[in-house]
Amino acid sequence: MGSYEITGKNVEEAIKNAVERFGIEREKLKYSVLKEGRAGVFGIGAEDAKILVEIGDDNKKNDANLITTVSEIIVNLLKIMGFTVTVEKAKPIVTEQEGEESSITFNIKGDDDVGMLIGRHGQTIASLQYLIRLMVSRRIDNPPAIIIDVDGYKQRRYESLKNTAKKLAEQVKNRKTPFTLEPMPAFERRIIHLTLANDPYVTTQSIGEGETRKVVIMPKNMGKVARKK
């Protein structure tokens, strides 16, 4: 067992940093608060929060077993499909602080043709992720959500959509008229919703069905006409 001091702007951020660093589900994290942290006045006198995290051998073993198992499944599956790839554990694409469940992201890297695994609007990678999650669940009980990325595609798309959402929200706020984005898969719609969830001036909703489902950003006083997904 080892003890590690993890810091953050506040205790919540320190916990999030520990979850990301050690790949442990939040509810299984064992920690004690060493320092609450404080914001200070205009940044003066600010102090980071600090927690002491206890990492047991079982946690390390389980984490290593999960990473090994998922990596083997991905490599062997894609080998059958004719791809030679390597797999690396990557940083979470959507963080727990933004509302995502505990998850582990695996990034697939390979030759130039590995981009074929992404597909139009990420449809192929979504199907691949579903298949890999199903295979992992048959070998590991109650695994965390497995996120599959290919050559950093989802990470780049995530950052791009966050920036787009913020710019469009400012536009909607100033013009006081809604803006409808192009159809996108559930993963991308979720990014828009999470990015603007706490915006004081706009709200979001998903409309349409199936592949035509899209996000509408609108002033908050307009209300919603469809349930968000």
pLDDT one-digit tens code per residue, 141-197: 777 788 899 999 988 988 999 999 999 999 999 999 999 999 988 888 988 998 998
In terms of DSSP H, where are the helices of the chain?
A: 11-22, 57-80, 123-137, 153-175, 186-195
CA–CA dist 32, 29 (Å, integer): 10
pLDDT of residue 9: 85
Residue 28 DSSP class: G
Task: For residue 203, give the 3-state DSSP assignment.
Answer: strand
Task: For residue 183, give the 3-state DSSP assignment.
Answer: coil
Mean pLDDT for 90-118 is 74
Residue 73 has pLDDT above 90, yes or no: yes
pTM: 0.60
Cα–Cα distance list, 82 to 106, 107, 113, 117, 136 (Å): 19, 18, 10, 11, 21
Residue pLDDT, tens place only, 3-25: 778 888 889 988 988 887 776 77
Residue 96 has pLDDT above 50, yes or no: no
CA angle 209, 183, 187 (to 5 degrees): 90
pLDDT of residue 100: 47
- Which residues, in sequence order, are bridge partners of residue 6? 51
Nearest Cα neighbor of 106 from 124, 83, 125 is 125
Domains identified in the chain and CATH numbers: 2-55 (no CATH), 58-151 (3.30.300.20), 156-222 (3.30.1370.50)
Q: How many CA atoms lie within 13 A of 180 on its CB side?
A: 8
DSSP string, 33-61: EEE--B--BTTBT-B-EEEEEEE-HHHHH
pLDDT of residue 193: 92
Task: For helices 57-80 and 123-137, give the axis angle rounded to 10 degrees.
Answer: 130
Sign of CA dihedral 89, 90, 96, 101: negative
Token pair of 149 as six digits: 């990325």
Task: For residue 98, give the 3-state DSSP assignment.
Answer: helix
Largest CA-CA distance found in the chain, in angstroms, rounded: 59
Residue pLDDT, tens place only, 21-61: 776 777 778 888 888 877 766 657 678 889 888 876 555 55
Nearest Cα neighbor of 67 from 110, 23, 25 is 23
What's the gap between Cα 194 and its chain centre? 10
